[in-house]
Structure 1
């Protein structure tokens, strides 16, 4: 059971909630803060004070006063009118993450919602009822208004949900679990949808998958080095210490660990003096991606524990401030950066694939074919990889550099962070496919060389891969192999063996 406090949620805990379906609850202290904040809202309504979103309309309608008897209608109208998302739904895990993140933000006690609202979010998480939320329609400022409105609908007994593997009517799933719809009162609709939880939830899932992919890319690259009789000297720690980037140093250490004991690697001058950049510069390129991952992790963990709605309530209601914490710029930039960094893992992987299949660049059978000429072997798999990296280049164009005014120019600068997070996720998916192709080619190459000469670490990767993707003895429908390799990487490719090599990595420059 993960205890939400509003302040301490980590990516590791989110991983357990998403992939292990860990249940969630709230801390006692957070409930006290929620109750105090709610009393402040009720006092504002009672005194008929002019406070944005509580006794006024929204956006450009912020100067329209609302009669106290209409506060419930105001909140329901807000949800209905803002639930205008379009396109395919977010992955179900993103919906689950949105529920958790919205609950965690409200538990900070600056939003003024009732306890029952947050309890409803937690019930949905713990029973596996996940709202169907269209991916398109958010500008990433004023909150993820459209996606979060679709998140709220099922709390009210409306809309659709994913439940036990099916897409179904929300009220039916709720009835099965004994959950009753709630009615929103003053400020609650606004508090639920004024936030960055769509882009952040998409960012959390993207980061968790990207981190795993980054580790896997090193093991696959190590097999490629063996398949090409790569030069091990380039990973010598002295080379990387004198540059000074900790992530580069650590990648080089992991590469040395993965290749330790290999009889398929070479030393400088044995076959050639130096390798191409796609082999020699793995620590520099992959290390830079790890720098980005570390940056993104920091920003996500801040945002996961942030109060992002508007207005925010302080000092028991004495201070109610309309600010801009709903603006997604920090996550927008982080997601664009993440997409670019992961696209580079695909770019360098595709170049390694080319070196594995191109007979002008190696001494292996052309295109790793079992019968060159009659059988094409891996020729078109490289085409596929090239297509994916080219697609990534268009997806990596930063979404955050765009803005378009909305709400009659009241909301005149927006982040487009949700678009950035969606594109980053697509880039991760494409990159996994490119690395799946590299794994197929690398396994073929090392077995042509002789698997007995492999390092123990890479050989264990080969053995796991061969349980799913057989040696290419003749041409077959390789699309099936790519899907199999992709599923292996997503679900069964362990990174524990890779991670163990980073322990004790030297990060200080030698004197």
Structure 2
């Protein structure tokens, strides 16, 4: 049985697994196989049916046949038990950067979630070993590139399968080691994969789904952060709080859009900001911020449905119904739902980068910033001519935004025919998910720049004799105070890279508690 379990460990096999469960495991939570009798009976029946059927000379794809286009090749009985090992080995050709430990843990969780549904013909022993890897923090080192997202994430998941049989490398105690030495240290014997088990581990959507779970979590936080930055920018520009009035949004009732407007309206504490405004209508990057962030906010429920349905599905091939004694050959490894979800999410997120970039442009430019210093420089008048404040930061934000927007080309439309035209229409879901993470990374950089700029702007705005300081409400002042714990007001030019990197790290760690009661 799985070792080192605790009552709070996430149980796999009975209750559905959530995005939050996968994120928690990625960050260090434990896992165990369910003790639910019905779930265990289903798992055992599926494994037993495969074992009995191939020995009775039943034809099962990937058990008594070759793989993919080689499905017409019959495997003689004396070689059936060797076949899974060959599958793990010939797919060991991934390239590119490698997923970090957090992603690796999420991938283990996603694969365990699918296989523990009990329709994949795998033994309880294998499921317990996957849970054991999570418990002991034995994390396969997995290259990011090499999956077309149909027939599953074959190549990246081969690194999971290989680690189970004692081959390739893993992260262990946050160091990279060979799995052989780690298993020896943990007194675990490598598994010998049963005939369907190599295919079951590899022929699924676990990599793209795991990445999607992590991407969803980051995007959800970015929606809140962009909302808070917008409120700060509105005050700094002496904007009009009436743009976020609840009555206004009641006549265009997208729920997520309305939520964003309420958050901004509450941050602005309504009337106080309106007194500072000398514009009937602010520019779109402020006035329309709920409509822009709201697209992301309103997308989150259906994105969750796509991701969590995939997460809790049996998504390999063939499906093994042990209780009904059916072998069902199909294409559940196809990652189309995750591909579409990630293509959509990266577009919504890139629009957040574009929004904050435009807000920064307003803050920098004396033609639009309503009396703030050029480039948000805090220099005194006699030194203003040699100081340039956030000028270069804005250039950087524009570069990061442009790169984010460039990555919004949908990956899912770039299907390629491969593997002797057996895989002739593929999802590219893993590429879409990786693209989405890159867009998130760039947008978090833009948000870091926007947050520092907004904090600087509010600090400078307080120096205006005619500014109503009450417009900087408690939530906004608290945000400024927290940022200023590591970021001092820019009075004289200095390199801002370290402050930007610090901000990005805090964004990634979801350091600020934003709108906790909503």
Superposition TM-score tier, normalisation by shorter sequence = over 0.9
In the alignment, does 2:515 pair up with 1:498? Answer: yes
Q: In the TM superposition, what are the counterparts of 1:10-29 in structure 2 within 5 Å?
A: 10-28=18-36, 29=38
Match of 2:253 in 1: 244
Matched residue SS, 2:512: coil
Q: Which moved more, 1:217-226 or 1:341-350?
A: 217-226
Q: Alpha carbons of 1:89 and 1:6: their partners in 2 closer, same or farther (altered >3 Å)? A: farther
Structure-to-structure mapping, 1:110-129, within 5 angstroms: 110-129=119-138
- TM-align CA RMSD: 1.6
Shift of 1:261: 6.8
Find 2:54's aligned residue among 41, 45, 50. 45
Indicate conservation of the 8 Å contact 1:465/1:488, yes or no. no
1:326 corresponds to: 333
Structure 2 counterparts to residues 178-197 of structure 1, below 5 A: 178-197=187-206
1:54 paired residue number: 63
Cα separation, 2, equivalents of 1:390 and 1:12: 31
Within a 5 Å distance, the mapping from 1:340-489 to structure 2 comes to 340-362=347-369, 363-371=371-379, 372-450=384-462, 452-453=469-470, 454-489=472-507
Shift in Å at residue 256 of structure 1? 1.2
- Indicate conservation of the 8 Å contact 1:7/1:306, yes or no: no
Partner of 2:5: none
Aligned residue pairs, count: 498
Matched with 2:314 is 307
Aligned to 1:287: 294
Shift of 1:483: 0.5
2:267 and 2:473 in contact (8 A); partners too: yes
More off after superposition, 485-494 vs 165-174: 485-494
SS at the partner of 1:400?
Answer: helix
Correspondence for 2:89: 80
SS in 1 for 2:139: strand
**Match of 2:213?**
204
Secondary structure of 1:316 counterpart: coil
Map Cα deviations across residues 303-358 of structure 1 (whole Å, 9 max, x no partner). Answer: 11000000011253632111000000011000000000000000000000001111
Which residue matches 2:274? Answer: 266
Contact 1:143-1:193 within 8 A present in 2 as well: yes
User: Runs of 5+ in structure 2 lacking a partner?
Assistant: 1-8, 464-468
- Tell me the distance in 2 between the aligned counterparts of 1:194 and 1:438: 42
Which secondary structure does the structure 1 equivalent of 2:367 belong to?
coil
Number of the residue aligned with 1:508: none
Q: CA offset at residue 77 of structure 1?
A: 0.4
Runs of 4+ in 1 over 4 A off after TM superposition: none
TM-score (norm 1): 0.95
In structure 2, C-alpha distance between the alignment counterparts of 1:15 and 1:133, rounded to whole Å: 18
Change (3 A) 1:159 1:315: closer
DSSP 3-state at the match of 1:486: helix
